[in-house]
Structure 1
Amino acid sequence: MARLEVRQSWLGDVLGLSQSVVSKRLRGLLPFTGPELLLIASAMNISLGELLGGIVNEKNPHPVDGGSSGVAGGRLDLPTSRL
C-alpha cells in the first residue's frame, strides 16, 4: 500500500467499507474475504500473489476455507506506513 501510495480511505471506497473497518482488517481484527482480496489486487493492478506476499507459502498455499472466509487466520499483513 505504501509503495503505491494507497490510503485506507481509498481502499474503503474500493471495497464499499468505511475507513475504520478497513483499519480493523489491516490490523487483523477482522478478516478479509477472498472476493475482497481479489478486488483489492485488481484495483491495485497487482496479482493476488503479490498482494498476499508471505502469507501464501508452501505450508499454507491456500487461504482458509478456500478463500471464502478470510486469510490465514483472518490476518492480512500489509505495510501500514503512510496511511
Structure 2
Amino acid sequence: MTTLTFKIEDDEARSLRAAARRANLTLSEFVRRRLRVNAAQTKPVGQSKCRHTGAMIFAPAPQHPPLTTAAVKEMLADFP
C-alpha cells in the first residue's frame, strides 16, 4: 500500500481523529470511507446542445442555473 502524507491544521486533525474514534475506525479507514462516499455521489458532467450554435456544450450542474450572457457579463464586470 502507498502512504499518503498531507498537512492539516491541528484542530482539523483533532476533529478527524475524534470522528474516527466515534466511528470505531482507524484514522486511515475513516478517511478512505469518507473519500469513497464522496466519489460515489459525484455525477458525470452532462452535455446539452447550444440553441444558438448547435454545438454540444457542458450542461449546468443540477443545483446551478444555466450560464447566461448576462451572468458572464456580471462576472467579468470587474476586469479591465
Bin of the TM-score, shorter chain as denominator length: under 0.3
Computing the radius of gyration from Cα coordinates, the structure with the larger value is: 2
Calculate the TM-score normalised by the size of structure 2.
0.27
**Greater helix percent: which structure?**
1
**Greater strand percent: which structure?**
2
Q: Which has the higher contact order (CA 8 A, sep 6+)?
A: 1
